[in-house]
């Protein structure tokens, strides 16, 4: 089981709810992924409360936990206010904290992130910070009260996969007891397997599933890939070596010459 | 009175935040509100008086990653 603050979940896939071809495909992808946590957001309501309400009623019908985000926030005060409004709207202390620092890469503003995480943690939030793979920032986030870290492995929506495996490996080594979730940059199931084999606790996906030709099938593929990587990590993998090692024992081999 | 609601200028009569939601035909429980950068909780909307040039944000759930 994966423990995130006081919650225990068995699925190690967290799924975003944006960019699906239709609400029906989103609902089916959530079911097929086996996820127990989906991310949601909040935006200006223009249809008198009806459009957001309809969306959220559908999410509630799926029986999953929601992790609201502060996507699109570029400053501390904006992110903190959005988090407070999300708590009121969704009735949860969980917040996926995003403080964006760069328009092109959507790289987190890690200085603002630490400040906002500190404010929100003190206010009773359980913060899931979208951060980089920087160890010092990670330390500061833990000091700020975060009990989970969510480093990117590549820019949001890039599908580039793990760009810096060394940094991810280093995070795992430095924070053996902190839940680590790769958030952003995963493009295909093999990327997810790779980070799970490094010992990451979970993967948060959106575009890789929603943007696939068949999002429902891709949700299923990712679920298997993540489970596979996690099981392999626990099973203890061989380290690569430069010389061959015969897999068939040579003791007792017949000698014909 | 002149109010800025979700970034748009409006000229209407709404002495409180609750009345603004009624006048603008918002309905249901799936709304979160803020005035001038401060959250106004659901239970406080009826008592929250609005003034000229207040900036009101009305948010609801949507898809997110």
Give the model confidence (pLDDT) of A105-149 as tens digits. Answer: 899 999 999 999 999 999 999 999 999 999 999 999 999 999 999
B28: nearest CA partner in chain A: A49
Contacts of B27 in chain A (CB under 8 A): 48-50
Residue A39 main-chain phi, psi, to 5 deg: -95, 145
> Which of the residue ranges A48-52, B3-7, B21-25 would you say has the lowest mean pLDDT?
A48-52
Å from A126 to nearest chain B CA? Answer: 18
Which residues of chain A neighbour B55 with C-beta distances below 8 Å?
A: none
* A42 with B58: Cβ contact below 8 A: no
* E strand intervals along chain A: 2-4, 7-9, 13-16, 37-44, 65-68, 94-97, 126-131, 150-151, 181-183, 202-205
Q: Is A31 a catalytic residue?
A: no
The total of other beta-carbon atoms located within 10 Å of residue A3's CB is 12
CA distance A45 to A248: 66
Residue B2 φ then ψ, to 5°: -95, 120
- Residue A89 has its nearest CB partner, among B7, B32, B37, at B32
Task: Please report which confidence band the pLDDT of residue A51 belongs to, taking 50, 70 and 90 as the band edges.
Answer: confident
Three-class SS of residue B11?
Answer: strand
In this complex, do B42 and A48 lie within 8 Å of one another by their Cβ atoms?
no
CB–CB contact B65 A88 (8 Å): no
Which tokens in the block code for residue A143? Answer: 């000091």
pLDDT at A31: 97
Class of domain B2-59: alpha beta
Of A19, A43, A49, the CB nearest to B28: A49
Instruction: Name the active-site residue from A3, A31, A84, A96.
Output: A96
Could you state, in order of their start, the residue ranges of all structural domains in chain B?
Answer: 2-59
Closest among A2, A25, A7, A30 to A223, alpha carbons compared: A30
Please give the Cα distance from A94 to A6 (Å, whole number): 11
Q: Is the dihedral of CA A38, A44, A46, A48 positive or negative?
A: positive
Percent of residues, chain A, with pLDDT higher than 90? 87
**What residue of B is the nearest CA neighbor of A43?**
B59
* Number of other CB atoms surrounding residue A178 within 10 Å: 16
Query: 3-state DSSP: chain B helix, strand, coil percent, rounded to 5?
Result: 20, 40, 40
Cα–chain center distance at B6: 8
């Amino acid at each position: 089981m994966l423990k995130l603050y006081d919650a225990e979940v068995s699925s190690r896939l967290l799924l975003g709810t944006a960019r699906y071809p239709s609400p029906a495909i989103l609902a089916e992808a959530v079911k097929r992924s086996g996820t127990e946590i989906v991310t949601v957001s909040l935006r200006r309501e223009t249809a008198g409360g009806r459009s957001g309400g309809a969306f959220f009623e559908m999410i509630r019908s799926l029986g999953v936990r929601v992790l609201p985000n502060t996507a699109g926030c570029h400053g501390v005060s904006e992110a903190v206010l959005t988090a407070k409004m999300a708590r009121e709207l969704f009735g949860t202390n969980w917040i996926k904290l995003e403080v964006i620092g760069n328009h092109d890469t959507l790289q987190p503003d890690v200085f603002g992130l630490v400040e906002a995480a500190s404010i929100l943690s003190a206010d009773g939030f359980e913060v899931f910070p979208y951060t980089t793979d920087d160890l010092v920032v990670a330390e500061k986030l833990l000091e700020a009260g975060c009990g989970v870290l969510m480093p990117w492995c590549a820019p949001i929506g890039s599908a580039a996969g793990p760009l810096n495996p060394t940094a991810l490996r280093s995070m795992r080594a430095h924070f053996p007891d902190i839940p680590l979730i790769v958030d952003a940059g995963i493009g295909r199931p093999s990327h997810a397997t790779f980070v799970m084999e490094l010992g990451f606790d979970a993967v948060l996906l959106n575009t890789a599933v929603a943007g696939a030709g068949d999002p429902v099938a891709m949700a299923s593929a990712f679920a298997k890939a993540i489970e596979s990587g996690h099981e392999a990590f626990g099973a203890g993998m061989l380290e690569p070596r430069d010389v061959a090692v015969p897999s068939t024992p040579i003791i007792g081999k017949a000698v014909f010459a | 009175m002149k109010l800025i609601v979700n970034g748009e200028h409006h000229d209407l009569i709404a002495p409180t935040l609750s009345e603004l939601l009624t006048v603008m035909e918002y309905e249901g429980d799936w709304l979160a509100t803020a005035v001038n950068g401060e959250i106004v909780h659901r239970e406080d909307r009826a008592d929250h008086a609005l003034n000229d040039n207040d900036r009101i944000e009305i948010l609801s759930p949507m898809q997110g990653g």
